[in-house]
């Protein structure tokens, strides 16, 4: 009986000791909600452009001879149209005295347009190089300098042809026909004085409706429509030396020379030669 009373007295102490002992850890809690993404950073500024590279040196014209050509208008009042300049071998002719003009020459001589003459030269087997001058050449002035290139192997038989219209005429032109400029030395210059030719394709009526230049324009005509006409009304129809314009001066005096249809004045007359053409070999 005494033993039982002691055991019962110890029970509260045992209970206290039991609660002092550590039990198992509890389960971890659930993961928290992810935070909101941060905003993007500001773009960086562009880098500085690099400097340009150095230009390469100019090339050289290899095995080519270089020529310059310059026209001088020697007339008092006749403008010259853009000119066709052709370097070629023998066998090509822009015109031949005493033979009919080609349609290409007719277009230049009547309307001042060198395009067809250039195309004709380009198609020739003797062609080497060709250019047109930079616009018209006024009276009493020099035109721009044109540059042409020719293979060195071809300079021993080189020819130049040059044609430009006297604009205040029906079909007059000046220039050179297959002129020999063979074997020019570097630095050498050749100068040619050229007369005026009549293409023989249009009658020299000198009216405002048949000439393209400023004289006809001042009289109420002129312009492109007054230039080239495919119908040929000059009975001669052969290239020949031009005798000069007549003008309207003295048209009422039967004892003197004059042309009643003409819109030209004495200022539009010329003495031959009407042009100087200077060729220089620069390389």
Q: Which tens digits make up the pLDDT trace of 185-218?
A: 999 999 999 999 999 999 999 999 999 999 999 9
Counting as low any pLDDT under 50, the low residues of the chain are 1, 6, 8, 10-11, 13-18, 21
Q: What is the pLDDT of residue 51?
A: 79
CA 146 – CA 144 distance, rounded (Å): 6
Q: What are the beta bridge partners of residue 196?
A: 174
- Full set of structural domains in the chain with CATH: 64-281 (2.60.40.2130)
Which residues make Cβ contacts (< 8 Å) with residue 273, sequence separation at least 6? 74, 174, 193, 194, 195
Q: What is the pLDDT of residue 118?
A: 97
Q: What is the pLDDT of residue 8?
A: 47
- Note whether 95 and 201 are within 8 A (CB): no
CA-to-CA separations, 127 to 28, 43, 124, 179, 249, in angstroms, rounded: 100, 64, 5, 14, 44
Q: The whole model's pTM is what? A: 0.76
CA-to-CA separations, 165 to 47, 170, 179, in angstroms, rounded: 61, 9, 18
Among the residues of 177-281, which ranges form H helices?
214-218
Nearest Cα to Cα of residue 138 among 166, 96, 107: 166
Nearest Cα to Cα of residue 170 among 83, 243, 252: 243
* Backbone angles phi and psi of 272, in degrees to 5: -85, 145
Q: What is the pLDDT of residue 13?
A: 47
CB-based burial of residue 228 (10 Å sphere; 0-12 exposed, 13-18 middle, 19+ buried)? Answer: buried
End-to-end CA distance of the chain: 146
Query: How large a percentage of the chain has pLDDT more than 70?
Result: 87
Q: How many CB atoms lie within 10 A of CB 67?
A: 24
Residues in the chain: 283
CA-to-CA separations, 128 to 149, 159, 174, 208, 276, in angstroms, rounded: 8, 10, 22, 39, 23
- Roughly what angle, to the nearest 10 degrees, separates helices 115-123 and 103-111? 150
Q: Which tens digits make up the pLDDT trace of 32-75?
A: 787 787 788 788 888 788 777 776 555 555 699 999 999 999 99
- Note whether 86 and 177 are within 8 A (CB): no
């Amino acid at each position: 009986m005494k033993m039982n009373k002691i055991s019962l007295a110890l029970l509260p102490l045992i209970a206290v000791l039991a609660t002092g002992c550590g039990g198992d850890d509890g389960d971890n809690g659930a993961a928290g909600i992810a935070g909101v993404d941060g905003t993007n950073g500001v773009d960086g500024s562009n880098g500085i452009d690099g400097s340009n590279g150095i230009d390469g040196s100019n090339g050289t014209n290899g095995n080519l001879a270089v020529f310059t050509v310059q026209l001088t208008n020697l007339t008092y009042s006749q403008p010259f149209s853009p000119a066709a300049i052709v370097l070629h071998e023998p066998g090509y002719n822009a015109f031949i005295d005493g033979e009919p003009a080609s349609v290409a020459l007719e277009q230049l001589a009547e309307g001042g347009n060198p395009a067809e003459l250039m195309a004709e030269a380009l198609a020739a087997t003797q062609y080497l190089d060709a250019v047109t001058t930079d616009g018209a050449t006024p009276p009493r002035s020099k035109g721009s300098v044109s540059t042409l290139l020719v293979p060195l192997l071809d300079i021993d038989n080189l020819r130049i042809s040059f044609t430009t219209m006297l604009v205040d005429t029906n079909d007059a032109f000046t220039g050179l026909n297959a002129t020999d400029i063979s074997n020019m030395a570097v630095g050498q210059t050749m100068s040619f004085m050229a007369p005026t030719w009549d293409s023989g394709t249009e009658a020299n009526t000198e009216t405002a409706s048949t000439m393209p230049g400023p004289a006809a324009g001042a009289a109420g005509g002129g312009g492109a429509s007054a230039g080239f006409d495919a119908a040929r009304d000059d009975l001669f129809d052969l290239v020949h030396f031009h005798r000069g314009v007549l003008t309207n001066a003295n048209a009422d005096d039967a004892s003197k020379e004059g042309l009643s249809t003409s819109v030209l004045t004495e200022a539009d007359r010329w003495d031959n030669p009407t042009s100087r053409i200077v060729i220089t070999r620069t390389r």
